Amino acid sequence: MRCALISAVLYVCCALAQSGSVSSYISTESPIAKAGVLANIGSSGSKSSGAMSGIVIASPSSTNPDYLYTWTRDSSLVFKALIDQFTTGEDTSLRGLIDEFISAEAILQQVSNPSGTVSTGGLGEPKFNIDETAFTGAWGRPQRDGPALRATAMITYANWLIANDNTTFVTDTLWPIIELDLNYVAGNWNQTTFDLWEEVDSSSFFTTAVQHRSLRDGIALANAIGQTSVVSNFETQAANLLCFLQSYWNPSGNFITANTGGGRSGKDANTVLTSIHTFDPAAGCDTITFQPCSDKALANLKVYVDSFRSIYTINSGIASNAAVATGRYPEDTYQGGNPWYLATFAVAEQLYDSLIVWDQVGELNVTSTSLAFFQQFLSSVTTGTYASTTSTFSTLTSAIRTFADGFVLENAKYTPSDGGLAEQYSRNNGTPVSAVDLTWSYASALTVFAAEGGKTFASWGAAGLQVPSTCSTGGSGSSGSGNTVSVTFNVDATTVWGENIYLTGSVSELQDWSTSTALLLSSADYPTWSITVDLPASTQVQYKYIRIFNGQVTWESDPNNEITTPASGSFIENDTWR
List, as residue ranges, the binding site for substrate.
Answer: 139
Check residue 199 for interaction with ligand NOJ (CB under 6 A).
yes
Q: Which of residues 356-395 bind ligand NOJ (CB under 6 A)?
A: none
The Cα 516–Cα 507 span in angstroms is 15
When asked if residue 403 is in the footprint of ligand NOJ (CB under 6 A), the reply is no
Please identify, using beta-carbon distances, which residue of 75 and 183 lies nearer to ligand NOJ.
75
Other Cβ atoms less than 10 A from the Cβ of 385: the count is 12
Calpha distance 446→438 (Å, rounded): 13
Using CB under 6 A as the binding rule, the residues of this chain from 444 to 483 that contact ligand NOJ are none
Q: 199 vs 235, which CB is nearer to ligand NOJ? A: 199
Identify which of 473, 58, 63 has the alpha carbon closest to the alpha carbon of residue 260. 473
Of 69-77, 371-379, 512-520, 533-541, the window that binds ligand NOJ (rule: CB under 6 A) is 69-77
Candidate segments 196-204, 205-213, 408-416, 524-532, binder of ligand NOJ by CB under 6 A = 196-204
Q: Pick from 275, 253, 277: which is nearest to 266 by CA?
A: 253
Site for ligand NOJ in 426-445 (CB under 6 A): 440
Q: Does 74 bind ligand NOJ (CB under 6 A)?
A: yes
Least distance from ligand NOJ to the Cβ atom of residue 331, Å: 11
- Cβ proximity to ligand NOJ: between 196 and 433 the closer is 196
Q: Which is nearer to ligand NOJ, 66 or 562 (CB)?
A: 66
Q: Which residues, 6 or more positions from 236, have their beta carbon under 8 angstroms from its beta carbon?
A: 472, 476
Cα-based angle 44, 45, 46 (whole degrees, multiple of 5): 110
- Residues 541-560 within binding reach of ligand NOJ (CB under 6 A): none
Residue 526 binds to ligand NOJ (criterion: CB under 6 A): no
H-state helical runs in 278-370: 295-306, 341-361
Query: DSSP string of 511-578?
Result: GGG-STTPEEPEEEETTEEEEEEEEETT-EEEEEEEEEETTEEEEPPSS-EEEE--SSSEEEEEEE--
363 is catalytic: no
How many angstroms from the chain centroid is the CA of residue 106? 24
**Binding site, annotated residues:** 139
**Toward ligand NOJ, which CB reaches closer, 71 or 358?**
71
197 binds ligand NOJ (CB under 6 A): yes
- Report the helix count and the strand count for the chain, using DSSP H and E: 14, 19
The smaller minimum CB distance to ligand NOJ, of residues 135 and 197, is found at 197
- Residue among 99, 179, 198, 363 flagged as catalytic: 198
Smallest distance from ligand NOJ to CB 139, Å = 8
* From 44-52, 85-93, 197-205, 489-497, span contacting ligand NOJ (CB under 6 A): 197-205
Q: How would you class 27 by CB atoms within 10 Å of its CB: exposed for 0-12, middle for 13-18, buried for 19 or more?
A: exposed
Question: Toward ligand NOJ, which CB reaches closer, 435 or 501?
Answer: 435
List the Cα angle 297/196/350 in 5-degree steps: 25
Q: What's the min distance (Å) between Cβ of 335 and ligand NOJ?
A: 8
Q: Which C-beta is closer to ligand NOJ: that of 83 or that of 435?
A: 435
DSSP notation for 170-227: IIIIIHHHHHHHHHHHHHHTTS-EE-TTS--EE-BHHHHHHHHHHHHHHHHHHHHTT-
Q: Which stretch binds ligand NOJ (CB under 6 A): 70-78, 230-238, 381-389, 406-414?
A: 70-78
Q: Please identify, among the stretches 68-76, 91-99, 371-379, 523-531, the one whose residues bind ligand NOJ according to the rule CB under 6 A.
A: 68-76
Residue 71 makes contact with ligand NOJ by CB under 6 A = yes
The binder of ligand NOJ chosen from 198, 331, 492, 499 (CB under 6 A)? 198
Residues 242 and 288: beta-carbon distance below 8 Å: yes
Choosing from 25, 67, 352, 502, the residue that interacts with ligand NOJ (CB under 6 A) is 67
Size of site (CB under 6 A) for ligand NOJ: 11
Least Cβ distance, residue 381 to ligand NOJ (angstroms): 36
**Per rule CB under 6 A, is residue 84 in the interface with ligand NOJ?**
no
Rounded to a whole number of angstroms, the minimum distance from the CB of residue 154 to ligand NOJ is 19
Beta bridge partners of 534: 486
Window 283 to 342, contacts with ligand NOJ (CB under 6 A): 334
Question: Which sign, positive or negative, has the C-alpha torsion 336, 341, 344, 350?
Answer: negative
Least distance between ligand NOJ and beta carbon 69 (Å): 8
Choice between 71 and 386, CB closer to ligand NOJ: 71
Evaluated on CA atoms 93, 107, 437, 78, the torsion sign reads positive
Q: Active-site residue among 105, 145, 195, 286?
A: 195
Least Cβ distance, residue 145 to ligand NOJ (angstroms):
9
Catalytic status, residue 280: no
Residue 230 DSSP code:
G
Q: At its nearest, how many Å lie between ligand NOJ and the CB of residue 422?
A: 11
Three-state DSSP class for 130? Answer: coil
Strand (E) or helix (H) holding 128: strand 127-128
Classify burial at 208, counting beta carbons within 10 Å of its beta carbon; exposed 0-12, middle 13-18, buried 19 or more. Answer: buried
Q: Which is nearer to ligand NOJ, 318 or 436 (CB)?
A: 436
Shortest Cβ distance from residue 198 to ligand NOJ (Å)? Answer: 4
CA distance 428 to 62: 25
CB 326 within 8 A of CB 340: yes
User: How far apart are alpha carbons 303 and 460 in whole angstroms?
Assistant: 28
3-state secondary structure of 286: coil
Minimum CB separation of residue 426 from ligand NOJ in Å reads 17
CA dihedral 353, 281, 186, 112 (to 10 degrees): -50
Interface stretch with ligand NOJ, choices 169-177, 195-203, 409-417, 522-530 (CB under 6 A): 195-203
Which part of the chain contacts ligand NOJ (CB under 6 A), choosing from 67-75, 259-267, 395-403, 460-468? Answer: 67-75
Please give the residue whose beta carbon sits closest to ligand NOJ in the complex: 334
Residues of the shown chain interacting with ligand NOJ in the complex, contacts defined by CB under 6 A: 58, 67, 71, 73-74, 196-199, 334, 440
Write out the catalytic residue numbers. Answer: 195, 198
